[in-house]
Structures are given as C-alpha cells and as structure tokens.
Amino acid sequence: MKGLAIAANGLRKSYGDKTVLDGVDLAVPEGTIFALLGPNGAGKTTAVKILSTLVSPDPASGEIRVGGHDLAADPQAVRAAIGVTGQFSAVDGLITGEENMLLMADLHHLSRDEGRRAAARLLERFDLVEAAKKPASTYSGGMKRRLDIAMTLVGGPRIIFLDEPTTGLDPRSRHTMWQIIRELVSDGVTVFLTTQYLEEADELADRIAVLNDGRIAAEGTAGELKRLVPGGHVRLRFSDPARHRDALSALADAIGDDEALTVQIPSGGSQRELRSVLDRLDRAGIEADELTVHTPDLDNVFFALTGSAGLPHQSKESVR
C-alpha cells in the first residue's frame, strides 16, 4: 500500500484573535491529486504555506508530516522533498525566463551543467523555448504561470503545492496546465492544489476538501461530494405521449415535461436509491425509452457548504 505524502492532524493557525485554521485534518496518498477548495479568505493559502514550511502552525496543532518527515522536527527534509508555486508569482521580471530557471537551479545546488540541462528540458516542456531569452516582464500571464511552475520543478520535487495554478488563465492555457499536472502525477508526483474553480477540482482531483470557516466542511471524491447536496434525480424519457402520461400519474413525486416527454424523479446517486427508483418503476409497470441519473454539480455542493446558509460545524459531513 502507498504511504501518505501529506498527513496533518488538527492543523491550527490564528493571527491575533482571528482563527484561520481551526483543526484541519488532511491525508493525501502519494501519487494523487488533492484539491483544497474554499471561498476567498478561507485559509487555503495559509494551509499551503504551513505545509510547505513558509509559515509555522500554532503550537496546539497535532503532528504534521510531509514526504514522511515531521514538519516541526525536520523542516529542512520537508523543504528538500517539495516544490511550491505560490498564489502570487515568484518570477523575477527583470531577468529572462532562462535566467529565472538557472537561478532556481542554483538554489537547488545543481551543477552548472545539470542546471542548464534541467532548465532546457523544462523550458521545452512548458513551451517557453522561444521566450526563454526575453525578460520575464514581457511574458503574458499564462506564460508567467507556466514559468512559475517550471521553476518549481527544477529540483525534481516529489510533492508539489500549487496555490491557484490556473487563476487568470484562458481556457486553453488552463487545459494545458491540467495536462501538465496530470503528467506530473503519472510520474508519481503528489499534487496538492488549491482552486476557486470547481470544474478544476472535478477534472483533476482524486479527493477534494472544502474548507470553510477554518474547518473541512466536507471531504471526498467529486462524486461523493455531489451526493451530499439535494438536486440529484433520475430522468426518464418516453417516445409515446400516452406512456409519458401514465408514468407521470403513477409517480406522485415526479415532475414531468410534456414537450420533452421526460419525467424527473428526485433521487440521490447511490446504488440503493437508484434501486428503489427502479423497483417503483417495475411495480408501476413503467418502461421508459431512456433512463439517466443526474447528480448535482460541484457548484451546488460549494454553495451549500460555504454559503451564508452553510452548514454549521456540528453537522460536518464525512463521506470517507
């Protein structure tokens, strides 16, 4: 069985009397993508900074291990295992993209040759060869972001923290970034990312945690999270208007659409709930031409968990 790349118990952080993280547990298996979601100010960047040794957690926190190393006891070992791309760019605009890369190679104590090779390989991979000799201040936002991540990879980290890697990127650049992130993971790298984009978490993450009010409001796969909020339904489609009418009158809680000849029955996405819907259809002798299961999307989940009408702490949901 694979180990955990990141394990945190009761992670806490306050600034003055403001509690930012109020007991956060995290467990990220090696070689997976973990997405931390949350509204502005939820504490995502704070969590990334703590896990990457840039900010210290409150002493009341439990044990935090990153890359198998105790964060408090051996921050140097943690630093050697990780790469961090912050929410705000670390690119130096006054020097070229290539010089930025070589600077990182120096920081990682690569030899001159190794540094040049690593820089060339990564500039190529991130499609920055043409721009490599130009000052980074002339780069577009997307190019800067790519350079940022390329710089993070110079030291060959096994665990990468990406704080909002695609904020401000156009759809094409975003898809390129997703592709890069997937490639990293197929090489065995663990990725911890924060994002405002639910679609991004849905696309990339093996597991997603929603941070709200200093705590994890819910955690699970995208599918598990979607099943937490109402809005799921089974939709039946008929070609025969008479059978559509029969179905509608046989199912008390169903909502019909006379034009599309569809019937919607509220239902969560679980096997048990689906079976109960099918049993009801059987008993009523209803046979649809098409049956599809619809789950709410992550937007629904996000608003349900983080809105002003969000769940109070006591009703924290666990879907492990």
Ligand X SMILES: Nc1ncnc2c1ncn2[C@@H]1O[C@H](COP(=O)(O)OP(=O)(O)OP(=O)(O)O)[C@@H](O)[C@H]1O
Residues near ligand X, by CB under 6 A: 15, 20, 38, 40-46, 87
Contact status: 46 vs Mg ion (CB under 5 A): no
Q: Does 14 bind Mg ion (CB under 5 A)?
A: no
Toward ligand X, which CB reaches closer, 164 or 202? 164
**Minimal distance in Å, beta carbon 164 to Mg ion?**
6
| Contact between 214 and 220 (Cβ < 8 Å) | no
Interface with Mg ion (CB under 5 A), residue total: 3
Q: Rounded to the nearest whole angstrom, what is the least distance from the CB of residue 148 to ligand X in the complex?
A: 16
Residue 308: name its binding partner from ligand X, Mg ion, none (Cβ under 5 to 8 Å by kind).
none
- Distance from C-alpha of 170 to C-alpha of 197, rounded to nearest angstrom: 13
Chosen from Mg ion, ligand X, none, partner binding at 14 (C-beta under 5 to 8 Å by type): none
Interatomic CA distance for residues 231 and 208, integer angstroms: 20
Question: Closest approach of Cβ 71 to ligand X, in Å?
Answer: 17
Taking the least distance from each CB to Mg ion, the nearer of 45 and 190 is: 45
Tell me the backbone φ, ψ of residue 35, rounded to 5 degrees: -115, 130
Pairwise CA distance, residues 206 & 6, whole Å: 14
Q: What is d(CA 279, CA 120) in angstroms, rounded to the nearest whole number?
A: 61
- Binds 214: which of Mg ion, ligand X, none (CB < 5-8 Å by kind): none
Q: How far is the CB of 91 from ligand X (least distance, A)?
A: 18
Token pair, residue 14, equals 């306050």
* CB closer to ligand X out of 132 and 311: 311
CB nearer to ligand X: pick between 40 and 314? 40
Provide DSSP, 205-230: -SEEEEEETTEEEEEE-HHHHHTTSS
Q: How far is the CB of 111 from ligand X (least distance, A)?
A: 37
- Residue whose CB is less far from ligand X, 45 or 262: 45
Which C-beta is closer to ligand X: that of 41 or that of 312? 41
Q: What are the contacts of 105-114 at 24+ separation with CB within 8 A?
A: 105/154, 107/155, 108/154, 108/155, 110/154, 110/155
Contact positions with Mg ion (CB under 5 A) in 73-132: 87
Quick one: which of 159, 162, 144 has its CA closest to 45? Answer: 162
Backbone angles phi and psi of 33, in degrees to 5: -110, 125
Q: Residue 45, interface with Mg ion (CB under 5 A)?
A: yes
**What is the enclosing helix (H) or strand (E) of 84?**
strand 82-85
Cα radius of gyration (the chain) = 24
Q: Tell the smallest beta-carbon distance from residue 316 to ligand X (Å).
A: 18
Q: Tell me how far, at minimum, the Cβ of 36 lies from Mg ion, in Å.
A: 10
Residue 38 vs 268, nearer CB to ligand X: 38
**Do residues 191 and 162 touch, judged by C-beta distance below 8 A?**
yes
d(CA 66, CA 70): 7
- The footprint of Mg ion (CB under 5 A) covers 44-45, 87
